[in-house]
């Protein structure tokens, strides 16, 4: 084979491996199935089955279009549903990637009698930790906080009723787009892509970067929206009074807000209900204001 032919073959292979989220070249049956999975995914945690099963029932509901298409035989369909009745828990915004991937593997299983069905469970289980970490960091730790900040700013500064609407738009538009494109992506790439990610260590890197991004955003939001300003003044003879807040800022700017936030985090980890934390914050704020501390 000549150098030019080898180069062309390499280019063709690269083109074939190029990741696409388009459904134009998929069959009408594939597109219909993917739309069904996408729509069903919105109910993934509508019926939470407790710690033993988590979102298993929702996962079965989401994959119903794939089961009905690939397993016309009721016995094989029953086996597939039984296989996926185990524990499932991935952040719903990104969990559709796992659904599309499982659908692709179930298709392969329906076509190959010697297909190892345990690989489906293994891939599904291996995605839960990394994808939940990525989804929680981006959608819960970053996007939801930004959306809430913009919405609250509109409500507090202008009194506009657009605040809740803007919050819902900022959060849900990226979430819905992500759900759809990840559904298609998971179905198109199949299981080989996940294997390559793990072999190259890219999945661990993505998880770590998403976690760092989430921590940065939470820290920035804490500094911006958790306010504390002590108004206590200590007389200093004939000189200017000493402002307690000035010394607090000298030690560590934003010291009290970050300590209060960390305290709330510790209480949350001890399973203290968030409602009590909100009520406690309101009571503390009223007491500090009444006592003239801040």
> Quick one: pLDDT at residue 8?
46
Quote the CA–CA distance of 158 and 282 in Å, as a whole number.
23
pTM above 0.75?
no
Average pLDDT, the chain: 80
Sorted by sequence, the CB contacts under 8 Å of residue 244 that are 6+ apart come out as 230, 232, 233, 234
Sorted by sequence, the CB contacts under 8 Å of residue 234 that are 6+ apart come out as 241, 242, 244
> Quick one: pLDDT at residue 44?
86
pLDDT in tens, 131-187: 888 888 888 888 888 898 888 888 877 777 888 899 999 999 999 999 999 999 988
Residue 115 has pLDDT above 80, yes or no: no
Q: Are 59 and 99 in contact (CB under 8 A)?
A: yes
DSSP 42: G
> Quick one: pLDDT at residue 133?
82
> Quick one: pLDDT at residue 111?
83
> Quick one: pLDDT at residue 183?
92
Residue 88 has pLDDT above 90, yes or no: no
């Amino acid at each position: 084979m000549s150098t030019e032919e080898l180069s062309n073959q390499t280019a063709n292979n690269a083109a074939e491996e190029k990741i696409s989220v388009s459904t134009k070249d998929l069959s009408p049956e594939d597109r219909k199935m993917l739309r069904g999975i996408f729509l069903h995914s919105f109910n993934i945690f509508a019926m939470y089955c407790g710690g033993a099963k988590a979102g298993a029932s929702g996962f079965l509901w989401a994959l119903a279009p794939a089961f009905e298409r690939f397993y016309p035989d009721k016995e094989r369909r029953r086996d597939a549903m039984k296989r996926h009745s185990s524990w499932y828990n991935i952040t719903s915004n990104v969990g559709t990637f796992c659904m599309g991937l499982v659908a692709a593997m179930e298709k392969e299983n329906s076509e190959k009698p010697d297909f190892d069905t345990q690989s489906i469970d293994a891939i599904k289980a291996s995605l839960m930790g990394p994808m939940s970490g990525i989804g929680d960091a981006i959608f819960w730790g970053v996007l939801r906080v930004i959306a809430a900040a913009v919405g609250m700013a509109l409500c507090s500064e202008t009194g506009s009723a657009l605040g809740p609407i803007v919050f819902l738009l900022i959060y849900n538009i990226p979430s819905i787009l992500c759900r759809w494109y990840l559904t298609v992506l998971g179905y198109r790439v199949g299981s080989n892509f996940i294997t390559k990610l793990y072999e190259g260590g890219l999945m661990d890197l993505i998880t770590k970067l998403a976690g760092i991004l989430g921590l940065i955003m939470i820290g920035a939001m804490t500094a911006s929206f958790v306010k504390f300003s002590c108004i206590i003044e200590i007389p200093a003879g004939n000189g200017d009074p000493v402002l307690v807040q000035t010394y607090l800022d000298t030690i560590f700017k934003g010291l009290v807000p970050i300590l209060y936030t960390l305290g709330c985090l510790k209480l949350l980890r001890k399973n203290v209900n968030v409602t009590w934390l909100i009520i406690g914050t309101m009571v503390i704020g009223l007491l500090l204001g009444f006592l003239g501390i801040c």
